[in-house]
A and B are shown apart, each in its own frame.
Chain A
Amino acid sequence: MRPMPPGDTAPLIRARRLTKRFGQLTAVDAIDFDVAPGEAFGFLGPNGAGKTSTMRMIGAVSPRTDGELTVLGMDPDAHGPRIRSRLGVVPQEDTLDMELTVFENLLIYGRYFDVSYRETRRRADELLDFVQLNEKRDELVERLSGGMKRRLTIARSLINEPDLALLDEPTTGLDPQARHLVWERLYRLKQRGTTLALTTHYMDEAEQLCDRLVVMDKAKIVAEGSPRSLIERYSTREVLELRFPVGVQETLDDQLEGLGDRVEQLPDRVLVYTSDGEAAAVAAHERGLRPETVLVRRSSLEDVFLRLTGRTLVE
């Protein structure tokens, strides 16, 4: 939450050929990226792509196997505690103490950062306001809903007023309402100047929150850019989605050919990539195609992912 000095553009995180292996398994395979001060940077990819391993290396709790990594200008292997003192970490699992109250969870976490009890109490109340949990202040954590626990974990990660927040799937498992509340709070955090690095397998999350992102698949980075530039580079402006009765789609290869710039056949639907979805829908009708449903939509990161990997992201 400390404002960044103007003109300071040295990256907060810098990775070159960063690699993590667990025995025979290569979880992260020689990836390069930079995260600039003040930006919201995303790692987008399916489960098992290497996002969490990357986050744990950045968080100085998992030593890298190979390559270079600097976080806040320091090497995590040499300065783990100093780096961690300036990070705010939201792990994939909440790691809250169920035997303590909401407030006590914040209190002990502040102590882990050597913040005085007095100051931790002040910050804890402020943060409970920020994540709208003040009414639950003295409730045991085990009685909270999943969304409330997630918000508490976010509040906890801010108790040391971090320069860099690391969020590993901040909204996975939350209902839509809870997700929107978390997004809104993260957006405010970004507005205050905190740098965010987050992983997600939700396209809408990446599009909402990230200034820039990398798409990861099978331990590697397969594309990098802003959400908009990725869509422009790897997809078309619009997508026509056609659903056919069971068994019909398989017989249509010839009729689908050349309908748009590109045609993707998924198990349950056909995607036609085109600059003009309406025109493609009319063309399909003229070819005698009679889908059960027709949908024209804007291209999304989901389409980028499909193009890059040949697979859908959330199956």
Chain B
Amino acid sequence: MAVAGVRHLEHNLLVYRRTWRGTAFSTLISPVLFLSAMGLGLGSLIPGGVARFDGVSYLAFLAPGLLAAQAMQTAAVESSWPLLAGFKWLKTFQGAIATPQSPRDIALGHLYWQVVRLGIVTGIFLLVALVFGAVTLPLALVAWPASILTGLAFGMPLAAWTATQQTESSFPVIFRFVITPLFLFSGTFFPIEQLPAVIQPVAWLTPLFHGVALTRALALGHGLDPVVLGIHTAFLMGLVVVGAAVALVTFRRRLIV
């Protein structure tokens, strides 16, 4: 027997080989647009510049934040509509469990697939950021896994949720009221110290804040307090592990009736 979940990863790769062109353009063009419009354009208008953003340019401050946020959005998309298609619209998961495969293989395979997909999206983002001079190569390589981890911290809990859904109606709500506010207020575009003092502790509880803080510290190479980085990493890892554990249960309940 192959390692659990590997066949489901193969299935996703087979589909991706056929569909990657559909997302390639936006994967490449979205960081170019954001880094030039916000990083270069808006950044040039910010008075005080370097001194306000941990001693780096706004572009260098912004890039790792956007990277983590893009990982979140990619994982959220992968763990909503395509998963419900497998459970409900195409029923390919029902097809898979008629073989020696089990719901566990599908849940774990989805985790592996997200690592691959997030690796591609964040890798391309970092290449663009390198071209913009927003990061340096060695630090980009350190920040890369941190951004993938950020994506997984959203992807696995959402996957566990999707397995309980009969319709897609909750997905737009999640994007509008969870993903977008997090994108705007988790330190992606400005330090959370700019938020009112009462809201700052709330930001500490949101996963994207930890993902952005971890990815940014590694990408900039300063503010590397091991305790703080340890807390960020543990918070994100905790979400991945809990999300995966719950997904094993909800995938099973959905498929074995």
* Residues of A in contact with B (beta carbons under 8 Å apart): 22, 59, 61-63, 80-82, 84-85, 87, 89, 91, 93, 95-101, 104, 107-109, 111-114, 160
Contact flag A99-B95 (CB < 8 Å), given A22-B257, A114-B2: no
Within 8 A of A (CB), among B1-17: 1-2, 7, 10-11, 14-15
**Whole-angstrom CA separation of A59 from B255 in the bound complex:** 13
| Given A96-B90, A108-B11, A111-B10, 18 further pairs, Cβ under 8 A | A61-B94, A61-B255, A62-B256, A63-B256, A84-B100, A85-B99, A87-B98, A91-B98, A95-B92, A95-B94, A95-B98, A97-B90, A99-B15, A99-B18, A100-B15, A100-B18, A111-B7, A112-B101
Q: Can you list 14 A-B pairs, Cβ within 8 angstroms, ordered by A? A: A22-B257, A59-B98, A81-B100, A91-B95, A91-B98, A97-B90, A98-B90, A99-B18, A104-B14, A107-B14, A108-B10, A111-B10, A112-B101, A114-B2
* Residues of B in contact with A (beta carbons under 8 Å apart): 1-2, 7, 10-11, 14-15, 18-19, 90-92, 94-102, 255-257
Contact A95–B7 (Cβ < 8 Å)? no
Closest to B102 in A: A81
Residues in A neighbouring B101, C-beta threshold 8 A: 81, 112
Residues in B neighbouring A112, C-beta threshold 8 A: 7, 96, 99-101
**Whole-angstrom CA separation of A241 from B102 in the bound complex:** 52
Residues in B neighbouring A108, C-beta threshold 8 A: 7, 10-11, 14
Q: State the Cβ distance, A22 to closest chain B Cβ, in Å.
A: 7
**Whole-angstrom CA separation of A84 from B100 in the bound complex:** 5
**Whole-angstrom CA separation of A108 from B15 in the bound complex:** 10
Residues in B neighbouring A62, C-beta threshold 8 A: 256-257
Q: State the Cβ distance, A246 to closest chain B Cβ, in Å.
A: 44
**Whole-angstrom CA separation of A99 from B2 in the bound complex:** 24
Contact flag A91-B94 (CB < 8 Å), given A62-B257, A63-B256, A114-B100: yes
Q: State the Cβ distance, B201 to closest chain A Cβ, in Å.
A: 44
Task: List the 5 closest pairs (A to B, CB-CB), nearest first.
Answer: A95-B95, A112-B99, A89-B98, A81-B100, A95-B91
**Whole-angstrom CA separation of A136 from B98 in the bound complex:** 25
Contact B92–A97 (Cβ < 8 Å)? yes
Contact A61–B97 (Cβ < 8 Å)? yes
Contact A61–B90 (Cβ < 8 Å)? no
Contact B19–A99 (Cβ < 8 Å)? yes
**Whole-angstrom CA separation of A87 from B256 in the bound complex:** 17
**Whole-angstrom CA separation of A109 from B255 in the bound complex:** 18
Residues in B neighbouring A89, C-beta threshold 8 A: 98
Residues in B neighbouring A85, C-beta threshold 8 A: 99-100
**Whole-angstrom CA separation of A245 from B251 in the bound complex:** 57
Residues in A neighbouring B90, C-beta threshold 8 A: 95-98
Closest to B1 in A: A114
Closest to B99 in A: A112
**Whole-angstrom CA separation of A213 from B139 in the bound complex:** 69
Q: State the Cβ distance, B75 to closest chain A Cβ, in Å.
A: 20
**Whole-angstrom CA separation of A104 from B12 in the bound complex:** 12
**Whole-angstrom CA separation of A37 from B152 in the bound complex:** 48
**Whole-angstrom CA separation of A257 from B161 in the bound complex:** 63
Contact B99–A109 (Cβ < 8 Å)? yes
Q: State the Cβ distance, B127 to closest chain A Cβ, in Å.
A: 27
Residues in B neighbouring A113, C-beta threshold 8 A: 99-100
**Whole-angstrom CA separation of A82 from B14 in the bound complex:** 26
Residues in A neighbouring B98, C-beta threshold 8 A: 59, 61, 84, 87, 89, 91, 95
**Whole-angstrom CA separation of A85 from B19 in the bound complex:** 30
Closest to A108 in B: B11
